Amino acid sequence: MFSLKKCLQSLKGGLGGSWKFLLPALGLSGFILMLGAVDKMDSRIEEKCEVLQVDVSACASACAMPSHVDLSSGNFPIQRSEAEWRARLTELQYKVAREQGTERPFQNLYHDNKAIGLYRCIGCATPLFSSTDKFDSGTGWPSFSKPIDARTLGEHRDESYGMIRTEVHCAVCGSHQGHVFPDGPGPSGLRYCINSASLEFEPADSVEAIVELVQQWYGASAAKDR
């Protein structure tokens, strides 16, 4: 076990050989941005005055790496052709949600979003996360302690880049969301590190309004199944 602070320091000091994977995956500009993100993360952790004890695979480098798992055989309720996906999504959304890419830290739409509301899957509008479970992990990506309903998220073991991670995707349409790590706050102890490009945010006036939006979605889904 390593402290997150030490893990980040090791990244800045040489990345422990991981740079061989990071540089070609992120490109030079992305690699430099990631190093800057590490500096920001380190300072935020200092401010919190508490060092989280996590496995090395749960540090910042694990969030920055794209995923390589095979979801092609998934029997997801919503199926679309490649042409339909490309017509529905922007280039970045397609790269992340359908090709398991990773967006840049601190330069994405929702990492610092503090508004009340619902986070839906970009591929099918399934409600996945609530703003009530969002927290600032200091990583530069939207982070949540839990999903609204665990049944709406699928998990897959991801062994790419010499790491063992847990990839998460929408269980309704198979769109890649990010990864989940065992270093989060609260009772769950989990941190869902999610790409903004995989999400669509719907503002709400209150927590009660979020619940109503979720109930409406489940009601509409149940009506379709009848």
**In the chain, domain spans:** 67-225
Q: Which CATH number fits domain 67-225: 1.25.10.10, 2.40.110.10, 2.170.150.20, 1.10.10.10?
A: 2.170.150.20
Task: Measure Cα distances from 122 to 15, 175, 197 in Å.
Answer: 33, 8, 7
Given the residues 124, 170, 173, 193, the one annotated as active site: 193
Q: Which residues contact 155 (CB under 8 A, 6 or more apart)?
A: 166, 167, 168, 169, 180
What is the residue-level pLDDT of the chain in tens, covering all 226 positions?
A: 334 444 444 344 444 444 444 445 555 555 455 545 545 544 444 444 344 444 433 445 567 677 767 677 678 999 999 999 999 999 999 999 999 999 999 999 999 999 999 999 999 999 999 999 999 999 999 999 999 999 999 999 999 888 899 999 999 999 999 999 999 998 999 999 999 999 999 999 999 999 999 999 999 877 776 6
> Active-site residue 124, yes or no?
no
